[in-house]
Structure 1
């Protein structure tokens, strides 16, 4: 019976502690990897929402009055909601008043739901869009550019999440054209 006990082997307390320590270090490094992966996935989700909202604003603007936007963007080059306030209507478009900019106020009045397209709220998070008129693309001659400007306005829509830290994951840009009703 004594011979059998001498052959009995097992782990010592020191070996068990070393194994637990190594396992803990590996687990902590994997946990950091998963936390980073979840953060990256959430950022991608925010970016996807911003891209969809920018496209939605572009599609909305493509269906609006060409002449109204051509006139406003021809003078100002940028359309934003900064400095404007909306009076929410429960069953219709908001009434928008822009301080010190009567032309922009008139544009919001003439285009129902423009405020909602440029200031969407998704899942309780507010976004703000800015529309910028781009230089005309096309031929080198000024005559060609003037002809294009009668029918196409190249624009860029930049949308950002309000209250979120800046960065590429909380904003998006989309470029497109506003087309004249005569060629739609």
Structure 2
């Protein structure tokens, strides 16, 4: 009779350790990929919130009285730029704006909704919105023979949204900018 010698089958300790090391390295690479994807997703979520806030502020400004906003930005007697932006950066509270009485009057005459539009808080992150007048676009409208008459009916504005405390996402949040026009009531 032929007697077979028992053959031991299985993995050696070195093979198991090598497989474990390879699996660990692959798992670390996948973990880094998922952490990076999560961070990218969070950044895009914040950017989406900022774009929506900018559109909301633009929509709010488009519904405001054309003459009031026009008189805030432009001195009607000289047709020169009087104020460059509507922002709450210079204001310590809803009622107290440091040096700009025009801005303080604008906040007071808008029943305080403007303060809330310019200082929203979403997902425990405070944002700051600035609305600025684009005088270069007005000059382009005035100089264009086809669009010349529109300069008296459209007020070009630029809405910029930024995170109030830029340390929230390690300073990676860049401001979001949306442009639009405030139309005179006669053409609305």
TM tier relative to shorter chain: 0.7 to 0.9
Residue number in structure 2 paired with 1:128? 128
Aligned pairs (5 A) from 1:168-179: 169=173, 171-179=175-183
Unmatched tracts of structure 2, length 5 or more: 75-81
Counterpart residue number, 2:141: 138
Q: Does 1:13 align with 2:20?
A: no
In the TM superposition, 1:24-43 aligns within 5 A as 24-43=24-43
CA RMSD of aligned residues (A): 2.1
| Aligned residue-pair number | 173
1:157 aligns with 2:156: no
Supply the distance in 2 between the matched residues of 1:69 and 1:85 (Cα, whole angstroms): 22
Q: CA deviation at 1:171?
A: 3.0
User: Residues 71 and 161 of structure 1: is their aligned pair in 2 closer, same or farther, counting only changes over 3 Å?
Assistant: same
CA drift at 1:149: 2.9
Q: CA deviation at 1:138?
A: 3.3
Kept in 2, the 8 Å contact 1:85–1:97? The answer is yes
Q: Match for residue 4 of structure 2?
A: 3
- Which digits, 9 at most, give the CA deviation of each residue in 1:121-167, with x for residues without a partner? 1122211001111122436358955x333210111100011113444
8 Å contact from structure 2 (residues 91, 97) kept in 1: yes
Residue aligned with 1:155, SS: strand
Which one is further off, 156-165 or 33-42? Answer: 156-165
8 A contact 1:46–1:170 mirrored in 2: no
TM-score computed with the length of structure 2 as normaliser: 0.84
TM-score normalised by L of structure 1 = 0.86
Alpha-carbon distance between aligned partners in 2 of 1:2 and 1:100, rounded to the nearest angstrom: 104
2:91 to 57, 79, 84: 84
Structure 1: which 5+ runs fail to align?
A: 87-94
Question: Contact 1:96–1:115 (CA<8 Å) still a contact in 2?
Answer: no
Structure-2 separation of matches of 1:131 and 1:60: 11
